[in-house]
Chains A and B, each alone.
Chain A
Amino acid sequence: MREIRVVPRRDFRVPVEAEKISPDIFTPLTIEEIEKIEVWEGNRKRALTDLFEISGDGDPAKPEEVLIKLEGNFSRVKRVGEKMTCGRIEALDDIGMHAGNGMAGGEIAIKGSAGDWLGREMRGGRITVLGDAGDYVGAGYRGENCGMRGGEILIEGSAGDYLGEHLCGGTITVLGNAGDFPGIANRGGVIVIGGDAHLPGAEMASGTITVRGRARVLPSYQYQETVEIDGLSLKKFLGDLVDNGKGELYAASVEDGGA
């Protein structure tokens, strides 16, 4: 394993866009070359070393053997691990928006919380978050009809709104609560929410959403039956019928939508 540490030299007010912090980019480069990688602090172009201290193994390795350790506050550093295909990124603290954009393989492990748009348009690989994640986990870009198409996202805390919007594949698991409209316009992905959710599966065409806590269910969902899954009794619904959807929604308890 080739380990490379990246540590911010200061706190950022203006967010930094650093899509080149990725095993695929780092792989063939020496530390000196990595230091010269271009990142953006607002409208200023910077060398990576201007903003971050880089250290670690100097010798280029195979991409799948690269481990990038992000130490310190990355909550305003965006697009880390964008389009990565292999290797591993570990964030010891929080990470900013768009981590793992379009990721196709490898792993991002976040010990803190993740910003919005985590794993946007992800195609493969795995993202884990010990803390919370923001809005639009695994979603698509504005106007697109496909978000995440493959891979796996696990959030041990809670997630924000629009979890897995336009999901076209892959699996998202949230151990805590999800916000409004998880799995909206789902087209075949799998979402499991450990806690509560508000209006899951709106306009879902296909796929499965499980809410192991309490859910407010849309009037356009049809109750089917109560089933037992992993020792939990879940109400099964079919929808979203506004669009002739054939998605499956399971919820442990249901908030009264009439109120």
Chain B
Amino acid sequence: MAEDVLCPFCGCLCDDIKIEVEDDRIVGVKRACKLGSSKIRGHERTKAPMVRRDGELVETTYEEAYDRAAKILKEAKRPLLYGWCSTVCETHKKGILLAEEVGGVIDSTATVCHGPSIIGIEEKGLAGSTLGQIKNRADLIVFWGANPAEAHPRHSMRYSSNSSGMFTPEGRKGRKVIVVDVRETRTAKNADKFLLIRPGTDYEVISALRMIVAGKGDLIPEKVAGVAKSDLEEAAGMMKTARFGALLFGLGMTHSRGRYKNVDNALSLVADLNGFTKFVVMAMRGHYNVAGFGQVCAWETGFPMSVDFSRGAPYFNPGETAACDLLARRETDAMLVVAADPVSNFPRNTVEGMAEIPVIQIDPFPNPTTLLSDVVIPSAVCGVEAEGTAYRMDGLSLRMKKVVSSPYPTDEEIMQNILDRVRRLGDDN
């Protein structure tokens, strides 16, 4: 039995999982939610490395796959190195170095989830805390465009609405929960106050709340984006009178019209609220280590994502240098995908941009990206078959464990092998 194992699924990065192991095989998973348990138990794997020949993916050796990957990256004028959310920070470090060496653009899945949150933070800063602070102190939780009941199943019990701590001994009973969303989600059904807003109106609703919080509620109209002023006043009142409030926002804010400006305004709302009480704000990060890539990339390059090394010096400008920008505009001429599945998660037209260029995939599992890849390199599952560092959604780093051994190399080893070959190609030139 492996104890206190970290879960390699969502940004909650639960670290209390028990895994039963017999003969180096997982036979049981305890405490994990449906999502985590499903991943830890495992799925169909990509059995061997593959390269595309005559239009079909055929099995090959790791050596050939590495050589092919290195050659594609080295020959490209604007290679894109994308993914990184479901692997450990040790892989990120190697990936950033590889991006430097090949003069590429490195970007993470953040740019299709909480990238706008990071740009919002660049405008306003982030008044945050660790999750334990919320657990121990928060008497008001606001979920905005977030549905943890489906996306982060253990969040409410471990960290937020239903958790208990030093100053919150009653758990859910001692707390109020506000949910703001465009539909009544499972999370909304558990709320004390639910604000149903029209899609794409987050910014206006936040501005109205800021007006009420600042005591200027008399200046706003009776209805804002479909929400009655009285409802806004009630929500704002709950926020102002909380002893410790936490605004936890999800992709509802970043994927909607307004994108990073929605987040920007929400960060201002929280800063304003701190003039009256204590309030913190946090992005509900999706994958277990998408936050880690942002951290590593920031300390290595100065920027958290979308870094272009074409000219040897880091250049950052999502909108210009993010993965979807490059693909949608057909500006990149090769792509490495590590621990992510852009073919599923990017808009169709953007995926069509991938179909025009050589694609290398490093991932334990087959997925739609495999279908469009020219080199496929299977890897060990981080947090189950490989150890390393991951950052929880609140920025806390923890060490993931290796529970069983794997016939596959780790992502980190694969990156190193490609890096070595890229360097050798450089020497030949």
Contacts and interface: CB of A to CB of B under 8 A. Distances in A.
A257 B317 contact: no
A219 B208 contact: yes
A42 B78 contact: yes
B207 A242 contact: yes
A41 interface: yes
B227 to A, nearest CB: 9
SS of A interface (majority): loop
B265 to A, nearest CB: 7
A220 B207 contact: yes
Contacts of B261: 180-181, 184, 202
B102 interface: yes
B301 to A, nearest CB: 14
Nearest to A135: B319
A258 B225 contact: yes
A94 interface: no
A239 to B, nearest CB: 9
A97 B333 contact: no
B225 A259 contact: yes
A76 B320 CA distance: 12
Contacts of B224: 219, 257-258
- How large, as a class, is the contact surface on chain A? 35 or more
A142 B320 CA distance: 12
A244 to B, nearest CB: 8
A27 B161 CA distance: 66
Nearest to B224: A219
Interface residues of B, number: 43
SS of B interface (majority): loop
A136 interface: yes
Contacts of A199: 203-204, 258
A218 B330 CA distance: 36
A55 interface: no
Given A14-B77, A180-B258, A40 B311 contact: yes
Contacts of A243: 268
A257 B204 CA distance: 8
B103 interface: yes
A116 B319 contact: yes
Interface in A130-157: 135-136, 141-143
Interface in B80-119: 102-104, 119
B216 interface: yes
Contacts of A257: 204, 221, 224-225
A26 interface: no
Nearest to B316: A142
B184 interface: no
A43 B220 contact: no
Given A40-B311, A181-B258, 4 more contacts: A17-B311, A219-B208, A242-B211, A258-B225
10 contacts: A15-B331, A44-B77, A116-B319, A218-B203, A219-B221, A220-B210, A241-B214, A243-B268, A258-B226, A259-B226
